[in-house]
Amino acid sequence: MLLALATLTPFLGAVVPLLADRFGRDICAIATGAVTLTALVLAMSHAPAVYNGEVVTWSVPWLPTIGLSFSFFADGLGLFFAGLILGIGLLIILYARYYLGSKDSLSLLYFYLLLFQGAMVGIVLSDNILLLIVFWELTSLTSFLLIGYWRHLPESRQGARMALIVTGTGGLALIAGMVILGHIAGSYEITEILQRGDAVRSSPLFLPAMLLVLLGAFTKSAQFPFHFWLPHAMAAPTPVSAYLHSATMVKAGLFLMARLWPVFSPADAWFLIVAPIGLVTMLIAAWIALFRNDLKALLAYSTVSHLGLVTMLLGFGTPLAAIAAMFHILNHATFKAGLFMCAGIVDHEAGTRDIRRLGGLMTLMPITATLAMIGAASMAGIPLFNGFLSKEMMLEEASHTAYGGHTWVIPSLVTLAALFSAAYSYRFAISTFLGPVRDDYPKKPHDPPVGMWLPVALLAVLVIAIGIFPAETAGAIVERTASAVVGGPLPKYYLALWHGFTPALLMSVIALVGGAFLFRSYNAADQLRLVFAGMDAKSMFDAGVSGLVRGARGFINATHNGSFSRYAGVILVTILAVGAAGFFNAPHGPGTRAVIPGSFPATAAWLVLATLCISLLFWHQNRLLSLLLTSGVGLIAALFFLEFSAPDLSLTQISVDIVTTILLLLALNLVPQTSPQETSTGGRFARALVAAAVGLGIAALAYAIMTRDFQTISDYYLAEAKPGGGGTNVVNVILVDFRGFDTYGEIIVLGIAAITIFALLDNALRGAAARTLASIRSDREQSVNAHPMMLVVATRVLFPLVLVVAAFVFLRGHNEPGGGFIAGLIVAIALIMQYIASGYGWAASRMRLDSQVLIGTGVLIAGLTGVVSLIFGWPFLTSTYTYVHLPIVGEFELASAMSFDLGVFLAVVGVVMLSLAQISRVEARAEPEVIPEGPMDVPLKDGRVVSSNKKES
Q: How far apart are the first and last CA of the chain?
A: 66
Q: What is the pLDDT of residue 54?
A: 87
The single-letter code of the amino acid at 711 is: Q
CB 153, CB 169: distance < 8 Å? no
Radius of gyration of the chain (CA): 37
Give the residue ranges of DSSP H helices in 707-819. 714-725, 730-733, 740-762, 767-778, 789-812
The single-letter code of the amino acid at 51 is: Y
CB 796, CB 788: distance < 8 Å? no
| Alpha carbons 183 and 188: distance in angstroms, whole number | 8
Q: Which of 140, 7, 137, 134 shows the shortest CA–CA distance to 72?
A: 7
| Alpha carbons 304 and 229: distance in angstroms, whole number | 10
Q: Is the pLDDT of residue 586 over 50?
A: yes
Residue 891 phi, psi (nearest 5): -90, 135
Longest dimension (CA), the chain: 115
**Half-sphere exposure of residue 382: CA atoms within 13 angstroms, side-chain side:** 18
| Alpha carbons 167 and 173: distance in angstroms, whole number | 10
Report the 3 state secondary structure along 391-438.
HHHHHHHHHCCCECCECCHHHHHHHHHHHHHHHHHHHHHHHHHCCCCC
pLDDT band at 778 (very low <50, low <70, confident <90, very high): low
Q: What is the pLDDT of residue 117?
A: 93
Q: What is the pLDDT of residue 764?
A: 66
**Mean pLDDT estimate for the chain:** 85
CB 73, CB 33: distance < 8 Å? no
pLDDT tens by residue, 803-835: 899 888 888 888 888 888 889 889 888 888 887
| 206-222: burial string, b at 16+ Cβ within 10 Å, e else | beebbebbbbbbbbbbb
DSSP assigned state of 765? G
Burial of 159: CB neighbours in 10 Å, binned 0-12, 13-18, 19+: buried
pLDDT tens by residue, 362-403: 999 999 999 999 999 999 999 999 999 999 999 999 988 888
Q: Is the pLDDT of residue 836 over 60?
A: yes
Pairing between strand 945-946 and 68-74?
unpaired
Sign of the CA dihedral 540, 545, 546, 551?
Answer: positive
pLDDT tens by residue, 404-417: 778 888 999 999 99
pLDDT tens by residue, 251-300: 899 999 999 999 999 999 999 999 999 999 999 999 999 988 889 989 99
pTM, full prediction: 0.69
DSSP assigned state of 189? B
Give percent of the chain above pLDDT 90.
34
Find residue 63's DSSP bridge partners: 68
pLDDT tens by residue, 665-681: 877 777 777 777 666 66
| Alpha carbons 953 and 950: distance in angstroms, whole number | 7
Q: What is the pLDDT of residue 781?
A: 58
The single-letter code of the amino acid at 683 is: G
pLDDT tens by residue, 402-456: 887 788 889 999 999 999 999 999 999 999 999 888 888 888 888 898 988 999 9
Residue 114 phi, psi (nearest 5): -70, -40
pLDDT tens by residue, 633-653: 888 888 888 888 888 888 888
| Alpha carbons 790 and 626: distance in angstroms, whole number | 28
CB 236, CB 150: distance < 8 Å? yes
Neighbours of 811 (CB within 10 A): 16
pLDDT tens by residue, 699-744: 888 888 888 887 788 888 888 888 888 888 888 888 888 888 888 8
Q: Which of 864, 841, 870 shows the shortest CA–CA distance to 936?
A: 841
| Alpha carbons 922 and 721: distance in angstroms, whole number | 46
| Alpha carbons 288 and 283: distance in angstroms, whole number | 9
pLDDT tens by residue, 21-32: 888 889 999 999
C-alpha dihedral over 550, 553, 557, 562, to 10 degrees? -170
Stated length of the chain: 953
- Domain ranges in the chain are 1-160+232-264, 267-496, 720-777+785-953
pLDDT tens by residue, 174-232: 999 999 999 999 889 999 999 998 999 999 999 999 999 999 999 998 888 888 888 87
pLDDT tens by residue, 74-124: 999 999 999 999 999 999 999 999 988 888 888 999 999 999 999 999 999
pLDDT tens by residue, 875-915: 888 888 777 777 776 666 778 888 888 999 999 888 888 88
Residue 148 phi, psi (nearest 5): -90, 20
| Alpha carbons 809 and 811: distance in angstroms, whole number | 6
CB 332, CB 250: distance < 8 Å? no
Q: What is the pLDDT of residue 522?
A: 83
